[in-house]
Structure 1
């Protein structure tokens, strides 16, 4: 009887030990471990926001965000898997595990910081109000009675919504490509966006002569990730700081944007 009881007790202790080790393993299995084990990193990028993300004449992904993602994958020794997304789907793709991280002209905002974490900024983007050169717009008051296009879920949408005067109408589309098409086709002449997209409109329809009328906000762009992944965040911060210091991120930005990174971004080198 004693021997049987001792055997049962040892069995119970062994089961408890295995269970405890299992919980310990689960506690330490974080996103960085998962990415490393998969030997690839899934990066959500909107490929309809030139020059951040687009497809070239051979339908290959390119743009400053795409090149940044490639540089990251190379530095981590991982395969890159680009997960095409839209502005509205960037955060949902993280939350539903369709992507490991987001590198997709995603601005750091207090609202977004409640649901995702960010690396230190790797670039910057202006939120501007664009319109044809012939149109006189110097501030929000001049938007009264006018129709403004914005891409749903972007900071441009958020910023123009804050300043829109009474009598103005905002028309939202689900991605930048559709918004650009709407402006090019004449559905509206005013676009809350980033300067590079105004250039894209002018290339598609030179008669538009779109230009920035005023800047709503300067936003820092950072790599987005799920909340509470400290090891992954530390690794991404390390990558951004190292590539800012080496000048690689500035080279990428200048290649696609025709200018150096803003000083607010490069000061993260230290």
Structure 2
């Protein structure tokens, strides 16, 4: 592990300006290069707000206090133009609802090419080569038809993989994936998680994976942070947290997951016997 964090969050609070209620409350956390961090918590715990705060996309009704440093650079000091250059290229966000990330009036190929043209000085041929290589790595088929399609013509799984392919092509230092598999079926979830694993392995990127499902991140996380009511209540490496959780809420999440797994195994076993 590097001695210096790639992302250092110091005493971060996110305040609802209408009622001055803190939605994230004095959160501090250091994230180190080339590691995969899972942030786990129930809906409303502040996970997605944390992701938006990191990439500077909080809505105008919310204000951030405290500091976020990327490679020791204070993100709050960035101008709008600097944020545009940073977002996507250095810190990439993959959102839960992939449809909302694309312009419905432009083809996938046009949007992919425009993104690369914004961040790189590449020829048309070089951009096309990078697009095709990235789509191949996330196992998308019939890519020529896909690139000529509009977002509404693709499935949720295809759109998620396109978003991962764009992140791959941009080669960011940090990828933040905010519940990217929630709306997908189990098979597509597995394939998308495989794509993320390949992405961080090949690019030596740092991954922040946000989810409500502890079981989902067992195969991808190096470290796990458990979030509740806008605070990190437990942070540890995966092996230690899963084998000996200290906080009662973490223990509850693991016990609930175990019960669901046992119930599923029982149902599956009964089904096999009946067949």
TM-score (norm 1): 0.25
